[in-house]
């Protein structure tokens, strides 16, 4: 019979035997790890030595969980753009290679979330589960992999959908002075995609925290966050984070585009992006050019916007529509950055501060705005009712300017000005109130047929509301033909005109019935009564 001492000794012996077997079976693996050290650190950048095999745009790891991108690769040192807080870094700290470029997590788990360009959540809703990761810098689709822009992107804004249409896969620039409503147009476009199977990405670049919070609040209150992703790089973030923000957002959008989805991405705004890149370039002592911008400022925006496209059916048929925003100074659209982006994009929507001050909202200057692609994708119903609208509006603006000098006007000129005033009134639209396609077509058709000619200007808003309500009563087959038909048939046109005429007549009749009856004037007295 074994005693307790014998059992203890046997257990110890067995344990030593297991340890010996584990020791004999252990094969240590040694892998070389290239490290360097920090030479100097300044605002947003660091100079590193000792990493001789580092590749261009490689991600480098710094102490404390900080990261940077290798930007300048010289013979003796590397200029690194820092992406995170660098207050704890100092000369002599160790730097390690990661062997990969900067990437970002992509997938359906990002929908409804607010993240930074590194993929970290900013909305306090916990960690984000992503399907895969994509590099933020990716080559644009080849020409043979693209399809023509054939489907419209409805913004819900009458002035844009009718006169400056945007197609899915197009790059349409939004520019204007500060506080003229550029972001409002982008937000309205996102809100109008509800129920249209279009995903939206709002990329805030160098914006104030209060402005970003307001935009997110509007999206959330209107139910747009269900199909949207917000990528935020605030103005107080490191310039490196601001620089990579639009590229990270584009990679997220490309994941959905390659899955066959339609995506809209808003860059708000690329002026701040260009300034961040200028700051980094000057700190890294790259040679400055015009307005102190580096010589490759055109290239960084062209390679970004070139990724917006409509893929061919063989690749899923997805599309990525880009709406970059830039800010002009004193209406100077001939400045360096505006001219660069105008030449890169497929058209521009120019917002005039003069129109904004007059209360013409959205303050779109139709004469300076153009869409070089969207007309090919515009619905046939819009082309039928808005074909001559832009010309008529341009003639009205010229005559209005001429009439300000007090010249005598004939009857035809006065009629043209009156019609132009109603065109302007119809193109006005309140913020956060997109109009459906049937509503827009009904309003524009009533305008072109002269049904609003007798409507006073101060009642145009009420008349348009009546027409939109009446458009909701159109048969479903007629509304379906707005989306698919190659032309607006005469029968449909007659039906819409009659519907609009009855709605306006009913509104006018109700307005007369509900109008207060004026009190009778006091009877005048005659000399005899005195």
Residue 234 CA to residue 206 CA, distance in Å, equals 5
pLDDT 10s digits, 62-80: 999 899 999 999 988 999 9
**Residue 372 catalytic?**
yes
> What pTM does this model have?
0.89
The pLDDT of residue 397: 87
Cβ(468)–Cβ(436) below 8 Å: yes
Quick check: 235 pLDDT over 60? yes
Which one is catalytic: 208, 285, 372, 414? 372
- Tokens linked to 319: 């599309």
Question: Crossing angle, helix 239-258 and helix 270-283, to 10 degrees?
Answer: 130
Distance of CA 371 to the CA centre of its chain: 16
Q: SS3 for 16?
A: helix
Quick check: 408 pLDDT over 70? yes
Average pLDDT rounded to a whole number, residues 193-203: 96
In percent, how much of the chain has pLDDT > 70? 90
Using the structure block, give the residue that is written with the tokens 């209060």.
210
Residue 159 CA to residue 232 CA, distance in Å, equals 29
Distance of CA 508 to the CA centre of its chain: 40
In percent, how much of the chain has pLDDT > 90? 73
Quick check: 521 pLDDT over 70? no
Residue 232 CA to residue 104 CA, distance in Å, equals 14
Q: How many CB atoms lie within 10 A of CB 213?
A: 14
Greater model confidence, 482 or 308: 308
The pLDDT of residue 29: 66
Quick check: 162 pLDDT over 80? yes
Residue 276 CA to residue 394 CA, distance in Å, equals 39
- Tokens linked to 66: 């900080």
Residue ranges of E strands in 8-74: 35-42, 45-49, 58-62, 66-73
Instruction: Please choose, from the candidates 34, 68, 38, 71, the residue with its C-alpha nearest in 3D space to the C-alpha of residue 55.
Output: 71
Cβ(134)–Cβ(248) below 8 Å: no
- Cβ contacts of 302 within 8 Å, gap of 6 or more: 344
Using the structure block, give the residue that is written with the tokens 């909305």.
123
Quick check: 211 pLDDT over 70? yes
Average pLDDT rounded to a whole number, residues 92-119: 95
Q: Cis check for the bond before 269: say yes or no (omega within 30 of 0).
A: yes
Beta bridge partners of 175: 326, 350
- Tokens linked to 357: 């001050």
- The yes or no reply on domain 35-101 and CATH 2.40.30.20 is yes
The pLDDT of residue 402: 78
Q: SS3 for 452?
A: coil
Greater model confidence, 240 or 23: 240
| Cα Rg, the chain, nearest whole Å | 31
Using the structure block, give the residue that is written with the tokens 């009857």.
411
Q: Which helix (H) or strand (E) holds 78?
A: strand 78-82
Quick check: 181 pLDDT over 70? yes
Q: SS3 for 229?
A: strand
Handedness of CA 270, 151, 114, 119 (dihedral sign): negative
CATH of 385-511, one of 3.20.20.10, 3.10.310.30, 1.20.150.20, 2.40.10.10: 1.20.150.20
pLDDT 10s digits, 278-304: 999 999 999 999 999 999 999 999 999
User: For residue 431, what is the DSSP state?
Assistant: T
Q: SS3 for 220?
A: helix
The pLDDT of residue 529: 42
Residue 485 CA to residue 127 CA, distance in Å, equals 46
Cβ(170)–Cβ(321) below 8 Å: yes
The pLDDT of residue 16: 58
Quick check: 34 pLDDT over 90? no
Q: SS3 for 445?
A: helix
pLDDT 10s digits, 48-63: 999 988 998 999 999 9
pLDDT 10s digits, 324-352: 999 999 999 999 999 999 999 999 999 99
Cβ(174)–Cβ(186) below 8 Å: yes
Residue 488 CA to residue 478 CA, distance in Å, equals 10
Q: SS3 for 514?
A: helix
Average pLDDT rounded to a whole number, residues 218-240: 95
Residue 201 CA to residue 264 CA, distance in Å, equals 6
Greater model confidence, 43 or 200: 200
To the nearest whole number, what is the mean pLDDT of the chain?
A: 89
Question: In the chain, where are the structural domains located?
Answer: 35-101, 104-377, 385-511
Instruction: Please choose, from the candidates 118, 267, 256, the residue with its C-alpha nearest in 3D space to the C-alpha of residue 203.
Output: 267
Q: Cis check for the bond before 362: say yes or no (omega within 30 of 0).
A: yes
Quick check: 524 pLDDT over 50? no
- CATH superfamily, with its number, for domain 104-377: P-loop containing nucleotide triphosphate hydrolases (3.40.50.300)
Using the structure block, give the residue that is written with the tokens 């038909």.
485
What helix, strand, coil percent values describe the chain, rounded to 5? 45, 20, 35
Average pLDDT rounded to a whole number, residues 103-128: 95
The pLDDT of residue 527: 39
- Tokens linked to 514: 């509900």
């Amino acid at each position: 019979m074994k005693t307790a001492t014998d059992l203890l000794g046997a257990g110890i012996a067995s344990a030593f035997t297991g340890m010996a077997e584990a020791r004999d079976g252990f094969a240590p693996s040694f892998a070389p790890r290239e490290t360097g050290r920090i030479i100097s650190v300044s605002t947003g950048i660091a100079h590193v030595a000792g990493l001789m095999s580092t590749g261009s745009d490689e991600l480098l790891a710094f102490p404390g969980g900080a990261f940077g991108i290798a930007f300048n690769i010289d013979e003796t040192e590397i200029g690194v753009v820092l992406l995170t807080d660098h207050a704890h870094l100092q000369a002599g700290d160790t730097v390690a290679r990661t062997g990969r470029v900067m990437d970002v997590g992509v997938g359906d788990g990002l929908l409804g979330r607010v993240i930074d360009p590194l993929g970290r959540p900013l909305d306090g809703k916990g960690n984000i589960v992503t399907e895969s990761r994509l590099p933020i810098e990716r080559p644009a689709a080849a020409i043979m992999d693209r399809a023509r822009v054939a489907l419209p992107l409805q913004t819900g804004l009458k002035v844009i959908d009718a006169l400056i249409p945007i197609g899915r896969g197009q790059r349409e620039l939004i520019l204007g002075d500060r506080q003229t409503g550029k972001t409002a147009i982008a937000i309205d476009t996102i809100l109008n995609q509800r129920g249209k199977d279009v995903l939206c990405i709002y990329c805030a670049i160098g914006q104030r925290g209060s402005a970003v919070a307001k935009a997110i609040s509007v999206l959330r209150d209107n139910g747009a966050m269900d199909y949207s992703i917000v990528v935020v790089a605030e103005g107080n973030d490191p310039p490196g984070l601001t620089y990579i923000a639009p590229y990270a957002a584009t990679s997220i959008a490309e994941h959905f585009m390659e899955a066959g989805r339609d995506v809209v991405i808003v860059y708000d705004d690329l002026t701040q992006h260009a300034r961040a890149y200028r700051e980094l370039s000057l700190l890294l002592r790259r040679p400055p050019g015009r307005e102190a911008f580096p010589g490759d400022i055109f290239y960084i925006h062209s390679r970004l916007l070139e990724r917006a496209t409509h893929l061919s059916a063989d690749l899923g048929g997805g599309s990525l529509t880009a709406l970059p925003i830039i800010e002009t100074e004193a209406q100077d659209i001939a400045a360096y950055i505006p001219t660069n982006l105008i030449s890169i994009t497929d058209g521009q929507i120019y917002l005039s501060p003069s129109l904004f001050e007059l209360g013409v909202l959205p303050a779109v200057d139709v004469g300076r705005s153009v869409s070089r692609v969207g007309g090919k994708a515009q619905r046939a119903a819009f082309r039928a009712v808005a074909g001559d609208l832009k010309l008529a509006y341009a003639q009205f603006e010229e005559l209005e300017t001429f009439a300000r000098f007090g010249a005598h006007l004939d009857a035809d000129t006065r009629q043209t000005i009156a019609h132009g005033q109603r065109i302007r009134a119809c193109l006005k639209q309140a913020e956060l109130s997109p109009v459906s396609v049937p509503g827009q077509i009904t309003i524009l058709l009533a305008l072109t047929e002269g049904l609003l000619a007798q409507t006073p200007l101060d009642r145009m808003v009420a008349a348009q509301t009546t027409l939109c309500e009446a458009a909701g009563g159109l048969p479903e087959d007629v509304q379906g033909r707005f989306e698919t038909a190659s032309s607006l048939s005469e029968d449909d046109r007659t039906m819409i005109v009659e519907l609009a005429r009855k709605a306006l007549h009913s509104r006018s009749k109700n307005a007369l019935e509900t109008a207060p009856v004026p009190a009778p004037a006091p009877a005048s007295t005659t000399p005899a009564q005195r």
